[in-house]
Amino acid sequence: MPVASRTNVTCPNCRNAYPAIVEMAIDAQQDPESKIKLLSGRLNIVRCPYCGASVTVAAPLVYHDSQKEMLITFVPMELGMSKDQQEKVTGDLIRELTSRLPPGWMKGYVFQPRSALTLQGLIEQVLQADGVTPQMMEEQRQRARLLEQFLSTSPEQLPALVQQHDAQIDGTFLQTMGLYAQRAAEDGQQEAAQQIMLVQQAILQLSTYGKQVLAEVAAQEQVVKAVEEDVRALGEQPTRQDFMKLVLGYASDDMRLQALVGLVRGAFDERFFQELTMITGQAPSEARPMMEALTERLQALIAMVDEEARAELDQAVATLQALIQSPDPDSFIRENVGLFDEAFMAVLSANLRSAEEKGDQQAQQALMAIYQRVVEAMQAEMPAEVRFINALISSPSPEAAEQLLRDTPDAQHPSLLQALDQIAGNMDERGNPQVAAHVRAVRAIAMRVIGG
């Protein structure tokens, strides 16, 4: 547990006062999460419960890392403390920190803490001790500055700006953008997060590095499509031999192998590998090293796919538990929208089914309430057009769909027809001809309303 204290904050935006917990002492070994918060500039940032504004609470801070024999104190200037007061408050915090260490542990450095003049200075000392060089920090600062520039420029001027800084746009830069977007979303600034992602998309399309990435992604998609075709060509009930032939054909094409394992993980069971071992044994000796390498590669790919699935599931289970225990589930959902993915929905449905089977009505109701909350939140997250299209497609009758179209003049736009075409096409591709036909019927209604 970090050393923390309760304080009252007055919101600079709406002037309401509210209580907040601030952390004033961090032990790098015992509070690794607090250390991460500190380094990412998120320590002691609280959100006003009245208006949502984020405030950094100024508080004294002591940072301790016993492995690196590092003790740093920082007292913000704006607290207006005298030298004596500063020493008293940091002395108390140091005592609090060291009292948690084993007896007889005390070392000399504890009596000579370094002090930092600014929080940034403290962060830099910690980073340097972690092996982050001043040059790396400077590069990161440049990235942040460039990012600010991109975000504040107009869409018309963006291409020229990208061209000018093309050499600086690389994987790390785009990752940094992703992190900024994530941080904004976590701080409840959905619009800012969306804006960053839009600019990121534009930079991807405009920059040399981005074009390369997009080309690679497109190539991968091509391969996945080709492999999907090959699998479909095996017919309704492909046998182990069918998959064996496919695998042997892909032996020298790692991208195809990866795609295949991702698509049909279930085909690679124990029996499959037994047969592969047998075939390897019967192969001419010069072909064996290749077959053995293929077996090893397949196993590694399978381990990767399984590991990913497990991690997704673990996270989904943890999310559901956190949500069940949350005193304020709605804001938990709002702040963690990214966690509610397919894996989460699968875990939630499985829990619902098991509660149903056990006849545990209380659990069933609680899970159902969570389900509804999450679905509502997901829908609220969607752009207005998407919500409208969803409502349109799920209209109970053609008359209701027509009414909805007439009641929503903004939605009567040619792009609606295109969107419906696309959805129908997607449904065909996914093998849902009934849904596709329904969407086309809705499209015909929309065409009539918009045309007339």
- For residue 25, the SS3 value is strand
Cβ-based neighbours of 301, under 8 Å, separated by 6 or more: 257, 258, 261
Residue 190 beta carbon to Zn ion: minimum distance, rounded to whole angstroms: 18
Which 8-state DSSP code applies to residue 12?
A: T
Q: Which helix (H) or strand (E) holds 9?
A: strand 3-10
**Residue 49 or residue 178: which is nearer to Zn ion going by CB?**
49
For residue 46, the minimal CB distance to Zn ion (Å) is: 10
Identify which of residues 11 and 420 has a Cβ nearer to Zn ion in the complex. Answer: 11
Binding mask 387-406 for Zn ion (x = CB under 5 A): --------------------
C-beta closer to Zn ion: residue 11 or 59: 11
424 is an interface residue for Zn ion by CB under 5 A: no
CB nearer to Zn ion: give 48 or 411.
Answer: 48
Q: Which of 148, 145, 155 is nearest to 202 (CA)?
A: 155
Tokens of 408: 């929503």
Helix (H) or strand (E) holding 129, with range, is helix 119-129
Smallest gap from Cβ 12 to Zn ion, in A, equals: 8
Distance between CA 183 and CA 39 in Å, rounded?
Answer: 13
Crossing angle between the packed helical segments 270-282 and 240-250, to the nearest 10 degrees = 60
| Residue 9 contacts Zn ion per CB under 5 A | no
Nearer to Zn ion, 53 or 255 (CB): 53
Min dist CB 330 to Zn ion, Å, is 19
Tell me the backbone φ, ψ of residue 423, rounded to 5 degrees: -60, -45
Residue closer to Zn ion by CB (options 16, 212) is: 16
- Cα 320 to Cα 10, 101, 310, 314, 353: the distances in Å are 34, 35, 15, 10, 15
Closest CB to Zn ion among residues 13, 29: 13
For the CB of residue 303, give the shortest distance to Zn ion in the complex, in Å.
Answer: 49
Interaction of residue 10 with Zn ion, rule CB under 5 A? no
Q: Which stretch binds Zn ion (CB under 5 A): 27-35, 44-52, 167-175, 432-440?
A: 44-52
Least distance between Zn ion and beta carbon 74 (Å): 26
- Part of the chain binding Zn ion (CB under 5 A), chosen from 9-17, 106-114, 118-126, 289-297: 9-17
Burial of 61 (0-12, 13-18, 19+ CB in 10 A): buried
Provide the token pair at 124: 């830099």
Q: Give the span between the Cα atoms of 90 and 71, in whole angstroms.
A: 11
Q: Compute the Cα dihedral for 183, 185, 188, 190 and give only its sign.
A: positive
* 56 versus 125: smaller Cβ distance to Zn ion: 56
Query: Judged by CB, which is closer to Zn ion: 13, or 394?
Result: 13
Binding span for Zn ion by CB under 5 A among 6-14, 100-108, 117-125, 144-152: 6-14
Residues between 76 and 105 with contacts to Zn ion, criterion CB under 5 A:
none
The SS3 of residue 291 is: helix
Please tell me the distance from the alpha carbon of residue 452 to that of residue 446, in angstroms, as a whole number.
10
Among the candidate windows 5-13, 151-159, 267-275, 391-399, which touches Zn ion by CB under 5 A? 5-13
The yes or no reply on residue 14 touching Zn ion (CB under 5 A) is yes
Return contacts of 54-57, CB within 8 angstroms, 24+ apart: 54/187, 54/188, 55/9, 55/11, 55/12, 57/7, 57/9, 57/20, 57/22
Of residues 190 and 212, the one with the C-beta less far from Zn ion: 190
Which residue lies nearer to Zn ion by CB, 12 or 103?
12
The footprint of Zn ion on this chain (CB under 5 A) covers a number of residues equal to 7
With CB under 5 A as the contact rule, the residue among 2, 3, 9, 11 that binds Zn ion is: 11
Told to check if 118 binds Zn ion by CB under 5 A, we report: no
Q: Residue 51, interface with Zn ion (CB under 5 A)? A: yes
User: Which residues are bridge partners to 407 per DSSP?
Assistant: none
Q: Other CB atoms closer than 10 Å to residue 193's CB: what's the count?
A: 19
For residue 202, the minimal CB distance to Zn ion (Å) is: 33
E-strand spans in 238-321? none
Using an 8 Å Cβ cutoff, are 70 and 64 in contact?
A: yes
Q: Is 48 in the site for Zn ion (CB under 5 A)?
A: yes
User: With respect to Zn ion, which residue has the nearer C-beta, 14 or 375?
Assistant: 14
Stretch that binds Zn ion, among 48-56, 81-89, 90-98, 247-255 (CB under 5 A): 48-56
Q: One-letter amino acid identity for 302?
A: I
- Binding mask 199-238 toward Zn ion (x if CB under 5 A, else -) reads ----------------------------------------
- C-beta of 51: minimal distance to Zn ion in Å? 3
Which residue type does 135 have?
Q
Out of 10, 19, 29, 50, point to the residue binding Zn ion (CB under 5 A).
50
DSSP line for 158-176 = HHHHHHHTGGG-SHHHHHH
Residues that bind Zn ion (CB under 5 A): 11, 13-14, 48, 50-51, 53
